[in-house]
Chain A
Amino acid sequence: MNTLDYAVLLIAILSIPAYGIWKTRGKRNLDTFLKGSGNSSWLVIGLSVMATQASAITFLSVPGQGFESGLGFIQNYFGAPFALIIIAAVFLPLFRKLNVYTAYEFLGKRFDSKTRLLGAGLFLLQRGLGAGITIYAPAIVLSTVFGWSLDGTIIASGIVVIIYTVAGGSDAVSLTQKYQMAVIFVGMIAAFAVLIWKLPPGFGFSSAMTIAGSMNKLDAVDFSPNMQSRYTFWSGTIGGLFLALSYFGTDQSQVQRYLSSGSLRESRLGLMFNGIFKIPMQFGILLLGAMMFVFYQFEQPPVYFNQAAWTERAAQGERDQFRTIESQFADVHARKRIALENWITAAHQGRAADASQAESSVRTLQKQSDELRQQAKLMVGGGIKGNKPASDADYVFISFILNYLPHGLIGLLVAAFFAATLSSKAAELNALASTTTIDLYRHLLSRDATDAHYVSASRWFTVLWGAIAIGFALFARLAENLIQALNIIGSIFYGPVLALFLVAFFLKWIRGTAIFWAAIAAQLLVIALYFSIDISYLWYNFIGPGACILFAIAIQASLPRGKEPPAPADA
């Protein structure tokens, strides 16, 4: 990072939040602070929904996934378009009709107070845990770029987000997210362009795709019915549908975004914008990772991308072993590069037999290279996690940025990570504070206070949740891969919450007591299954609501009739 990078970084990360705070100054009643001003267009809502989900983890961790495993992770998002259609058609009109601040208020109106508190409590638990991980991701970038301690960086960046959210509220969050997305898109597209430009002369995008394809990095869709395979078409479409229904339909950080419009039409179009562009966006980010894989076929990569951890472990002893593996890796890479050039030359000259032989050599050498990297991961992981290999996937993209991008663009990319953190983290903190204020504080402790009092309480809850998120972030380094850790936490807790809403919408004869105990039983079942059987975590998004709905039907059928009041007609 040089002066130009710092200038770009500072201008980008300070001007956008400052603009948001200035633009929304003076608008401080409970409605605007928690819901926004109500005049957001569909594009603002669409970008706001996208920005809330696309945290810095998306832009840091997903290219690493593409580098390691290819495009297969995209199947995780296959259920999203269907979920967004269901939310736009069913959930949204009801939320708007009841004019609620939080999704869990709706549960209180449909069922009872204890079910509302359960929904809010499960949201606060899982989102509070997830918030820690989203604050950890940019801290990796900063600690790598500036050489700061990771813990100090987590605390400092967390404080910046807290100040911004406390000052701006929901309106500032929505208003600035479109500019933050613009910075992110420009940064990612520029990184992609530089990556292709830096490939060897005469070696274009098409050749890069051919290499990626022959190394199985473009294998995006797996139709096999294997339940243990983490990402398949079926787990992504069915499990992903339930995960996306839960996330977009019941997670307050998202509900708050699309309730910020004054019109049902704008909210629906904002959701449909995401239904269309979510998969292409993730495809672009994963493809960037696959192209980095091709790039590193020609440039010598480190055997382990988190060089700080590698150096630290090497210094703790066994230094010779670390040097040996580095030299073996460099040797395999050099031979692979020669084989690769032979393959491409033979293919261009139409010598099919030579091309096939060279391609076979490349594959063999790639296998050796992968084995050496796995050995390196075990050597680093052995010191901190028993015999489990450490993961460096989250360091692949930042390592490329720092070593190969021109100055100015480095600053822009670091600013893009910051922008992503600000936009998603601020929306999360805003939602956590809203839920705590409306569903716990106002509902249980202080029913008749003034708007100013609740706005003030919401600000203090923002600070509290920010502090909790920082605390979790300090432990997030134990996670195998950030984006997966976030999805696993969501998959464990989202199911029963989604079931609360599905029963509320579609099974009107089921009452509060039945669904309350069913949700608790289903949550315990999902936790027990997670620790006892080995299936893709995406299936828990299906198992959780399925079990909860079955339990609710059974409990309601066994309860004596007439003890609870019927559900309100408009719910």
Chain B
Amino acid sequence: MIESQPDANAADTDERSTGLPLLRNWRAVYLFVVACFICWVVILAILPRVFA
């Protein structure tokens, strides 16, 4: 039990921390990915109008 404690903590930290400077938790990372997707859809939707 004593030996397994550090491993459990390490796994827990691994699960919670992203190791990224600005996006510190996973929810922020997922929201960032969704925001990138929305940006791309907007760019793709207006592209034909810009170059019509």
Residues of A within 8 A of B (CB): 71, 74, 78, 81-82, 84-85, 88-89, 93, 206, 209-210, 212-214, 216, 218-221, 233, 263-265, 268-269, 272, 275-276, 279-280, 283
Contact = CB atoms under 8 A, between A and B. Distances in A.
Nearest to B34: A81
B36 A81 contact: yes
Interface in B1-42: 11, 14-15, 17-20, 26, 29-30, 32-34, 36-37, 40-41
B50 to A, nearest CB: 8
Given A272-B33, A280-B40, 17 more contacts: A78-B37, A78-B41, A82-B34, A85-B30, A85-B34, A216-B48, A220-B44, A220-B45, A221-B44, A233-B41, A268-B18, A269-B19, A272-B29, A272-B30, A275-B37, A276-B33, A276-B36
Interface residues of B, number: 24
Contacts of B40: 279-280, 283
B21 to A, nearest CB: 13
Contact of A219 (B11, B19, B48): B48
26 contacts: A78-B37, A78-B41, A81-B33, A81-B34, A84-B33, A93-B15, A213-B48, A213-B50, A220-B44, A220-B45, A221-B44, A263-B14, A264-B14, A264-B15, A265-B14, A265-B19, A268-B18, A268-B29, A269-B18, A269-B20, A269-B29, A275-B36, A275-B37, A276-B32, A276-B33, A283-B44
A209 B20 CA distance: 37
Given A74-B44, A81-B36, A265-B19, A213 B14 contact: no
Contacts of A268: 18, 26, 29
A39 to B, nearest CB: 14
A268 B17 CA distance: 11
A212 B50 CA distance: 11
A221 B34 contact: no
A93 B30 CA distance: 15
A283 B29 CA distance: 23
| B15, B36, B37: residue with the most chain A Cβ atoms closer than 10 Å | B37
A280 B44 CA distance: 10
A448 B14 CA distance: 34
A85 B14 contact: no
A89 B14 contact: no
Q: Shortest 6 CB-CB distances between A and B: which pairs?
A: A213-B51, A220-B44, A275-B33, A209-B51, A81-B37, A218-B48
A522 B11 CA distance: 38
Nearest to A263: B14
Chain A facing B: main interface SS: helix
Contacts of A81: 33-34, 36-37
B44 A212 contact: no
Contact of B41 (A84, A206, A221): A221
Contacts of B11: 264
Nearest to B27: A89
Nearest to A208: B51
A74 B26 CA distance: 27
B18 to A, nearest CB: 7
Nearest to B47: A218
Contacts of A74: 44
Nearest to A262: B14
A221 B32 CA distance: 22
Contacts of A233: 41
A280 B45 CA distance: 14
Contacts of B19: 265, 269
| A71, A212, A268: residue with the most chain B Cβ atoms closer than 10 Å | A268
A88 B44 CA distance: 26
A316 to B, nearest CB: 42
Contacts of B47: 71, 213, 218, 220
Contacts of A214: 51-52
A470 to B, nearest CB: 38
Nearest to A206: B51
A85 B35 CA distance: 12
B42 to A, nearest CB: 9
B48 A85 contact: no
A218 B49 CA distance: 9
Contacts of A279: 37, 40
A82 B34 CA distance: 7
Contact of B17 (A88, A265, A283): A265
B33 A212 contact: no
A132 B5 CA distance: 48
A206 B36 CA distance: 24
Contacts of B18: 265, 268-269
A140 to B, nearest CB: 29
A279 B29 CA distance: 17
A210 B14 CA distance: 49
Contacts of A283: 40, 44
B41 to A, nearest CB: 6
A422 B33 CA distance: 29
A271 B39 CA distance: 19
A210 B49 CA distance: 10
Contacts of A212: 51
B15 to A, nearest CB: 6
A181 B1 CA distance: 45
| A82, A218, A264: residue with the most chain B Cβ atoms closer than 10 Å | A218
Contacts of B20: 269
Contacts of A275: 33, 36-37
Contacts of A206: 51
Nearest to A267: B14
